[in-house]
């Protein structure tokens, strides 16, 4: 029997002191934004051919700086990563009725960006270790209608890009990399984002760096870059200017980043490597401590990969202790201070539910009320049943616990407190199990 009473059962917690809040804006960001404000040029895009079709000086400088730092030929900024994904889908030529294979274990925009061009999301299951798309499961989903693969580097670890590229090349498919959670992450010593055709990153406030809202598309393909630049900024007005032969998918968008956002991004991007290094240091300490606790599996890091740790996603095996994931997460969290925001949460269960559980896919109603785009292939019966992607469902329902605490402003001592909380709960697991809490 444990002689230390668990906090969830009325004992004293391991820690009461709140965790420090991450400060995302400093003097350099303020100075950069003020310089733009004083210029009076908050945005310099024009939706017609000319010097400002590609934006103002801050936007162009930000794009060039990112391209040079991370080794991409082209960077195209957008006002969000959702619009960046939509732009990439349009640029690779997705048309109504085309199928795009994607992961169900990601944020909703990875799939809805496909719907906006009339593409049909086809969900493939994920790997057990990295939670990313399984190349073998992708292969099973390919049909004559498949146009592309949407890959999300979830939680900050790269997908198996060699395996995915091999499948794509075999079937002549485009690859879009959703690196929203993975700036600075590497796959076999290469930065993710444009390991294949096209990809990019998110800059909203809870990502590694932020511009308020914002996104950045990266590609090494000249033709894809031009199409992205046109989709971003009313490309129908520049068809003759750029002598575009294929004019599909370039009409009518305004996905432009402002000079304010770009100025902030130029400053923030200098922090990426330091942030990734710090997060890896924190994660390494917690992983070493978890190695001593049965029932918990630390995040995998594949050889040659650099994890960027958007969050720290571990796995929990309920069968080891006979205590449900929900209860053990509550017990560990009870040993820690009450969070003030999402980034101070101790343990969150499951990440997002499999996307195909959403009414959008269950009812097949997205754009309009008549079943578009699924009705574009009337001979195909598209279904999204429970059990479609069993590994993703198991991770959501039973195994994954993630902590957003792997952040700037968090110290090794803070992470040690989390490890101590896990250790304490395990030492009192019999009492926790016998308490039969709801």
One pLDDT digit (tens) per residue for the chain, 438 residues = 456 899 999 999 999 999 999 999 999 999 999 999 999 999 999 999 999 999 999 999 999 999 999 999 999 999 999 999 999 999 999 999 999 999 999 999 999 999 999 999 999 999 999 999 999 999 999 999 999 999 999 999 999 999 999 999 999 999 999 999 999 999 999 999 999 999 999 999 999 999 999 999 999 999 999 999 999 999 999 999 999 999 999 998 999 999 999 999 999 999 999 999 999 999 999 999 999 999 999 999 999 999 999 999 999 999 999 999 999 999 999 999 999 999 999 999 999 999 999 999 999 999 999 999 999 999 999 999 999 999 999 999 999 999 999 999 999 999 999 999 999 999 999 999 998 887
Q: Is residue 229 a contact partner of residue 244, using CB atoms and an 8 Å limit?
A: no
Report pLDDT for 4. Answer: 83
Predicted pLDDT of residue 3: 65
Q: Which residues, other chains included, contact 147 with Cβ-Cβ below 8 Å and sequence gap of 6+?
A: 92, 93, 94, 95, 98, 99, 100, 119, 173, 174
CA distance 305 to 287: 16
* Token duo for residue 9: 């059962």
Query: Angle at the Cα of 311 (from 217 to 16), degrees rounded to 5?
Result: 140
- Please give the full DSSP string across 102-170, using - where no structure is assigned: E-SSS-THHHHHHHTTT-EEEE--B-TTT-SBPHHHHHHH--TTEEEEEEE-GGG----HHHHHHHHHH
d(CA 193, CA 261): 21
| Cβ atoms of 133 and 140 closer than 8 Å | no
pLDDT reported for residue 437:
84
Supply the pLDDT for residue 418: 98
The pTM (predicted TM-score) of the whole model is 0.96
The pLDDT value recorded for residue 1 is 45
Residue 218 bridge partners (DSSP) = 75, 199
Identify the pLDDT of residue 252: 82
Q: Decide: helix, strand or coil at residue 313.
A: strand
Give the three-state DSSP class for 99: strand
Q: CA 431 to CA 43: how far, in whole Å? A: 61
CB 195 within 8 A of CB 161: yes
């Amino acid at each position: 029997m444990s002689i230390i009473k668990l906090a969830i059962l009325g004992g004293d917690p391991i820690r009461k002191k709140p965790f420090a809040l991450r400060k995302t804006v400093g003097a350099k960001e303020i100075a950069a934004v003020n310089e733009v404000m004083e210029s009076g040029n908050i945005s310099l895009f024009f939706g017609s051919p000319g010097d400002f079709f590609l934006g103002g000086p801050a936007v162009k400088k930000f794009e060039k700086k990112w391209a040079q730092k991370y080794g991409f030929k082209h960077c195209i900024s957008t006002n969000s990563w959702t619009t960046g994904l939509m732009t990439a889908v349009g640029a690779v030529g997705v048309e109504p009725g085309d199928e795009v294979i994607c992961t169900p274990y990601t944020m909703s925009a990875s799939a809805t960006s496909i719907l906006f061009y009339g593409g049909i999301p086809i969900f493939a299951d994920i790997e057990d270790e990295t939670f990313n798309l399984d190349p073998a499961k992708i292969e099973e989903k390919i049909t004559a209608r498949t146009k592309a693969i949407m890959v999300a580097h979830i939680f900050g670890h790269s997908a198996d890009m060699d395996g995915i590229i091999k499948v794509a090349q075999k079937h002549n498919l485009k690859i879009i990399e959703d690196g929203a959670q993975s700036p600075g992450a590497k796959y076999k010593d290469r930065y993710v984002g444009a390991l294949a055709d096209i990809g990019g990153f998110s800059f909203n406030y809870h990502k590694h760096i932020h511009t308020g809202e914002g996104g950045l598309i990266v590609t090494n393909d000249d033709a894809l870059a031009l199409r992205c630049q046109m989709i971003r900024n009313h490309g129908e007005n520049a068809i003759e200017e750029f002598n575009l032969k294929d004019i599909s998918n370039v009409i009518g968008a305004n996905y432009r980043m402002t000079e304010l956002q770009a100025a902030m991004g130029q400053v923030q991007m200098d922090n990426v490597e330091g942030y990734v290094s710090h997060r890896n240091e924190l994660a390494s300490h917690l992983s070493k401590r978890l190695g001593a606790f049965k029932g918990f599996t630390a995040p995998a890091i594949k050889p040659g990969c650099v994890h960027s740790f958007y969050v720290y996603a571990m796995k929990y095996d309920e069968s080891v202790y006979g205590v449900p994931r929900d209860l053990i997460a509550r017990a560990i969290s009870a040993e820690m201070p009450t969070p003030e925001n999402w980034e101070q949460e101790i343990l969150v269960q499951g990440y997002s539910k499999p996307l195909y559980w959403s009414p959008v896919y269950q009812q097949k109603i997205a754009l309009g009320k008549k079943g578009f785009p699924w009705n574009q292939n009337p001979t195909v019966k598209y279904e999204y049943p429970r059990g479609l992607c069993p590994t993703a469902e198991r991770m959501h329902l039973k195994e994954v616990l993630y902590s957003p605490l792997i952040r700037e402003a968090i110290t090794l001592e803070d992470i040690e407190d989390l490890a101590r909380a896990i250790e304490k709960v395990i030492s009192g697991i019999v009492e926790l199990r016998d308490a039969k809490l709801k």
